[in-house]
Structure 1
């Protein structure tokens, strides 16, 4: 089960069950302060960083309105839009908390060709913030499409994902929120939910489809 983390001075959660478990910072809020208070946006953690392989702590609902949590959400949104990408989780910024943001703006939606948008069932959606989310599968049919990740920069692979899911949790105001999504939006949600449990898409990918996205350029 996930730990619940309070303020920066709170006691850390229980020790990992074995010495082989990934190490996490003493307190996620200390990691948040270290990563999100810099003038420059933080870099996205790359595969190999232990934080990407550990389940995040649950956020104390009473702290969602805190300056630290608001800063973390702002930073996630800022980095997501700067990259740009369609989703980003707190662990990807080195903060092991159960929190992610997602957004598919019109400009990114239109950057994909119409035939591909139709095949992938893509539709733009506004900013979504989920704290302590849980997921329920609504349509268990598996659909496989290429998927990338800012924490495995420069690579992609086909990943089977459920056709439709419902994610429920708390929003940036601490209010209950729920979203039923299908198609590409459901894929984004499943990708981000995996991050909160220390799972990367390479754990679920069809391994023979794994590619360097610049392979034609590099091999030319």
Structure 2
């Protein structure tokens, strides 16, 4: 007689149990790639599902994983955990021309718990953008040039701050992950380029040349 098939969804287990199991492997965590439903389900607000010690360990693992990738942000769903938590950090090691064009300035390590953002003003900026969960590809995304972020930090302290330029882009990208969105949902798909093509053809500070060659329109 055949044995019964176990139809139990592993995601039905308590989040704390799954996080403990994830951290037990040690080292950087595996990053979930596009196509995994966890990136599309959205997240539940953090409300003590992890005790303070486990939360601290999970945040440190997110930080280690972000550095190892390397990236400038990482959201919990990208490691398979449906909690509304993300980390960001950007040393911004870019040439002055790119810094000025993109507003890319260094950002210290930050933890965003239950973040949300809203646009400040109507200005938008479009640049090539990539994602650790969509490895090997980049596309132009128009985003708000300035946003107001509301969140909590890892200690439960309220954050209410405006971000501009590239930091605003990072905030939007990571918060979108928590809502089940990938940057491709907002991208100009005619701009989609491999990392190699982006480096060889579209490494200019702004994407005007790519727009002209690939046939897409940039926001005004």
**TM-score bucket (shorter structure):** 0.7 to 0.9
2:63 is the alignment partner of 1:77: yes
**Residues 178, 37 of structure 1: CA spacing in aligned structure 2 closer, same or farther, 3 A cutoff?**
farther
Partner SS for 2:21: helix
Q: Distance in 2 between matches of 1:121 and 1:215?
A: 23
Q: Distance in 1 between matches of 2:176 and 2:191?
A: 20
2:81 is the alignment partner of 1:95: yes
2:178 is the alignment partner of 1:178: no
Partner SS for 1:214: helix
1:164 to 119, 139, 146: 146
Partner of 2:18: 31
Shift of 1:29: 2.5
The answer on whether the counterparts of 1:76 and 1:101 sit within 8 Å (CA) in structure 2 is yes
Which residues of 2 match residues 69-218 of structure 1 at below 5 A? 69-105=55-91, 109-110=92-93, 112-215=94-197
Q: Unaligned regions of 5+ residues in structure 1, if any?
A: 1-22
Deviations 1:165-191 (A, max 9, x none): 111111111111222100100000000
Q: Number of paired residues?
A: 191
Query: Structure 1 stretches (4+) deviating beyond 3 angstroms?
Result: 62-65
Q: If the length of structure 1 is used for normalisation, what is the TM-score?
A: 0.81
Q: Distance in 1 between matches of 2:167 and 2:89?
A: 9
Q: Unaligned regions of 5+ residues in structure 2, if any?
A: 1-8, 200-220
**Residues 119, 216 of structure 1: CA spacing in aligned structure 2 closer, same or farther, 3 A cutoff?**
closer
Partner SS for 1:168: strand
Partner SS for 1:59: coil
The answer on whether the counterparts of 1:65 and 1:173 sit within 8 Å (CA) in structure 2 is no
Shift of 1:28: 2.8
2:37 is the alignment partner of 1:55: no
